[in-house]
Structures are given as structure tokens and as C-alpha cells.
């Protein structure tokens, strides 16, 4: 019986390892599948030309280059797979993508489904509202508040309002542009999302003079690349790639492509320093 259990355990471990060996599959197929979002700029989005783009997508391209070099793949094809905020983790869990390249926050509940890389960014939830209409959260009592469906921001918003005893109508949105458009049109009174995403949409909105982004952070969200659960070799390669970028400051060049010449804030600079792990 004891020998049988040992064999059974070894078989289970072997099966789990082979099922999650992304690098072996990339060598066999010559393809790496990167999941990206079309609606989460400046982190992950589709340009007007139809190309996947964004800060976190660029980090994934660096990882793809690492896969190509370390695995000796002469010509690695990157297959970009569009995912949404509601199906992105399932796409990774079910094997439709190899790496999730979007602003996904690390949480303990999500770690039951997927693994995560070293952190890629620190952001936080903020509120966008029309000018002169909102000063404090209490001003949203009885109002309509938009938030992206099935996100940690939605969970935090509901918990915060309940804790403060503020009765308001939560209006789930399918995309961030939907939220900004509804706010501009007066269909909602405020829109909650990560501040980096809100800043991007305000800057690119034709009605930005009528909207204001609150200075307050309501949460701190730590983003990371979501990876297949149990694929240790892939995670080590991804972490080594990110640590090299942080350690050599090459990440600042990548940062500037999406965020311009503005230097990273103190939280992001600290993230780079802390996670520039030595070889």
C-alpha cells in the first residue's frame, strides 16, 4: 500500500508538471500565447491600427524574448489572444493563453486559480467625477456610481460604501470607455477605477474639462503577470526577466513608452528597487 501511494504521488506530480510545461509547448509549437485586454490603457489595449499595446504588454514582449533566447527557438511567434476582465483568469486556467498581460491585481483568492510573477506596477482605485460635484465619498449618497464589472475595484467600492453607511446605486460597466462616456453624458455621477486607467481616459477624452480625477487613493493595487498555476520553470524565467529589467533600469525606457517623460512615482520607483533581485 505504501509503495502504491508513493507511485501514485509521483505520477500525480509528473502529470501536473507536464500539463503546465509552457516552455516545452513553446519549443514544440514555436508559439507563445499572450492574453491582452483591449480596454485597459495605458497597460493593455489595442491601438487604432489594431495592434496590442501598453506598458504590461511591452513587459510580456520582453518575457517572450527571454523564452526565445533561453529555449533556443529560432523563430518564436507571439499569438495575441484577446481576453476580457471577466474571463481572463479562466482563459489562463483553461490553457487558452500562456501569460496574462494586463493590469491584474494579486490577491490570495486569485492565487487559488493562477500563479503570479514579481510585481509589475502599483496603482490604486480613484474616482472620476464631474467638476464641482464631488468633494467627499459622502457626496455620493443616493447617487449612481459606475465601476468595471467583476474587478477588485468593484469589491472594494461596495465594501467601502457599506462600511461608511453610504447608500448608492452601483452601476456595473463592461468597459472603462463605457464608464467615462456614461459619466460625461450624465447617466452616472461618478466612476471608480484604477487611477492610471482613469488618467489615460481623462487625458484622451474630448470632454476632459468637465471631469475631475480625485487626488485620493482608495486602495493600493499591486499588479503582476498571471501565470499558469504550478509552472515553476516559466515563473522563474518570467521573474528573472523582470528582475533584470528592474536591476538595469531598462524598465524606465519601457515605462516612458506608455507614460511619457514623467518619472515614475515613489511607489513605482520603490517597486523597481525592491524587485531588482540579484542573479
Q: How far apart are CA 167 and CA 142, in angstroms?
A: 6
pLDDT at 277: 94
Helix (H) or strand (E) holding 40: strand 39-40
Average pLDDT over residues 257-262: 78
The CB-side HSE value for 18 (13 A sphere, CA atoms) comes to: 5
φ, ψ dihedrals at 147, nearest 5°: -160, 150
Residue 41 is placed in which grid cell?
490603457
- Spatial distance between the Cα atoms of 5 and 126, rounded to a whole number of angstroms: 52
Mean pLDDT over each residue of the chain, to the nearest integer: 88
Q: How far from 135 is each of 82, 208, 247, CA to CA, in Å?
A: 37, 18, 41
* pLDDT, mean of residues 10-32: 71
Identify whether the C-beta of residue 222 lies closer than 8 Å to the C-beta of residue 119: yes
Chain segment 128-165, per-residue pLDDT in tens: 998 877 777 888 899 999 999 988 889 989 999 999 99
Closest among 20, 21, 19, 25 to 76, alpha carbons compared: 25
Q: What is the mean pLDDT of residues 26-45?
A: 95
- DSSP-derived 3-state class of residue 17: helix
Nearest C-alpha neighbor of 251 from the set 61, 52, 46, 38 = 61
Choose among 165, 151, 26, 36: nearest CA to 91: 36
- Run of H or E including 229: none
Spatial strand order of the sheet with 52-53 comes to 39-40, 44-46, 52-53
* Residue 253 cell numbers, joined: 525606457
- pLDDT, one tens digit per residue, over 63-101 is 999 999 999 999 999 999 999 988 999 999 999 999 999
What's 111's DSSP letter? G
Distance CA 118, CA 22 (A): 18
- State pTM to two decimals: 0.76
Amino acid at each position: 500500500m505504501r509503495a502504491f501511494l508513493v507511485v501514485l504521488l509521483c505520477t500525480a506530480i509528473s502529470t501536473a508538471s507536464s500539463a503546465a510545461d509552457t516552455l516545452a509547448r513553446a519549443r514544440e509549437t514555436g508559439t507563445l500565447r499572450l492574453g491582452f485586454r483591449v480596454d485597459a490603457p495605458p497597460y493593455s489595449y489595442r491601438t487604432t491600427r489594431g495592434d496590442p499595446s501598453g506598458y504590461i504588454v511591452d513587459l510580456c514582449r520582453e518575457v517572450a524574448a527571454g523564452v526565445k533566447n533561453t529555449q533556443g527557438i529560432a523563430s518564436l511567434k507571439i499569438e495575441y489572444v484577446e481576453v476580457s476582465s471577466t474571463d481572463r483568469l479562466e482563459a489562463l486556467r483553461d490553457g487558452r493563453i500562456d501569460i496574462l498581460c494586463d493590469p491584474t491585481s494579486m490577491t490570495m483568492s486569485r492565487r487559488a486559480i493562477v500563479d503570479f510573477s514579481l510585481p509589475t506596477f502599483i496603482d490604486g482605485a480613484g474616482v472620476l467625477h464631474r467638476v464641482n460635484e464631488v468633494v467627499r465619498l459622502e457626496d455620493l449618497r443616493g447617487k449612481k456610481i459606475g465601476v468595471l464589472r467583476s474587478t477588485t475595484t468593484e469589491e472594494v467600492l461596495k465594501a467601502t460604501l457599506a462600511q461608511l453607511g453610504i447608500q448608492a446605486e452601483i452601476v456595473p460597466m463592461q468597459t472603462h470607455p463605457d464608464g467615462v462616456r456614461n459619466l460625461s453624458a450624465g447617466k452616472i455621477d461618478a466612476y471608480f477605477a484604477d487611477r492610471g486607467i482613469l488618467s489615460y481616459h481623462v487625458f484622451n477624452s474630448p470632454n476632459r474639462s468637465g471631469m475631475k480625477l480625485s487626488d485620493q487613493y482608495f486602495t493600493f493595487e499591486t499588479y503582476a503577470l498571471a501565470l499558469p498555476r504550478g509552472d515553476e520553470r516559466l515563473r522563474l524565467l518570467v521573474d528573472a526577466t523582470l528582475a533584470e529589467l528592474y536591476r538595469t533600469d531598462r524598465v524606465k525606457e519601457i515605462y516612458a513608452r506608455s507614460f511619457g517623460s514623467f518619472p515614475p512615482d515613489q511607489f513605482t520607483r520603490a517597486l523597481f528597487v525592491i524587485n531588482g533581485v540579484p542573479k
